[in-house]
């Protein structure tokens, strides 16, 4: 049973370009969370999605960032017009249900975004 798959593992973008990060949840999981980890810091919640719905985007910057989880295909975190401050590791986690103790979050290995 494959775990949470994130790609690419590393992504380099120049300032002003767009970054698209993909996340395929574990089989049977319909809840996806995105987190950002700045260097030497903990993970910060960005957005929580279910299929075709954004449930909680309280951690998402208001501009340039968007996320989707279509009916078919992976979840996408999109960053437009990247700036150096967007350089971080972006993690995706999935769960079969949103809030059960018995459904802990399963994390992918993250995408490290470097903005030059």
φ/ψ (deg, to 5) at 47: -155, 150
Considering the complex, what minimum distance in angstroms separates the CB of residue 14 from other proteins?
A: 23
Residue 13 makes contact with other proteins by CB under 8 A? no
Q: Name the residue among 111, 113, 44, 45 with its Cα closest to residue 80.
A: 113
52 contributes a contact to other proteins by CB under 8 A: no
State how far the Cα of 62 lies from the Cα of 40, in Å rounded to an integer.
24
**Least separation, in Å, of the C-beta of 15 and other proteins?**
24
Q: By the criterion CB under 8 A, which residues form the site for other proteins?
A: 31, 33, 35, 40-45, 48, 55-56, 59, 89, 91, 93, 95, 97-101, 104-105, 107, 109-110, 112
């Amino acid at each position: 049973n494959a775990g949470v798959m994130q790609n690419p593992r590393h992504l380099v973008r120049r300032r002003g370009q767009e970054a698209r990060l993909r996340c395929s949840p574990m089989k049977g999981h319909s809840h996806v969370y995105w987190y950002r980890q700045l260097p030497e810091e903990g993970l910060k919640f960005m957005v929580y999605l279910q299929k075709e719905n954004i449930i909680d985007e309280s951690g998402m910057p208001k501009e340039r960032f968007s996320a989707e989880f279509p009916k078919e295909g992976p979840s996408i975190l999109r960053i437009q017009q990247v700036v150096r401050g967007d350089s971080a590791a972006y993690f995706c986690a999935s769960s079969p249900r949103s809030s059960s103790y018995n459904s802990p979050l399963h994390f992918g290995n993250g995408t490290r975004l470097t903005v030059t």
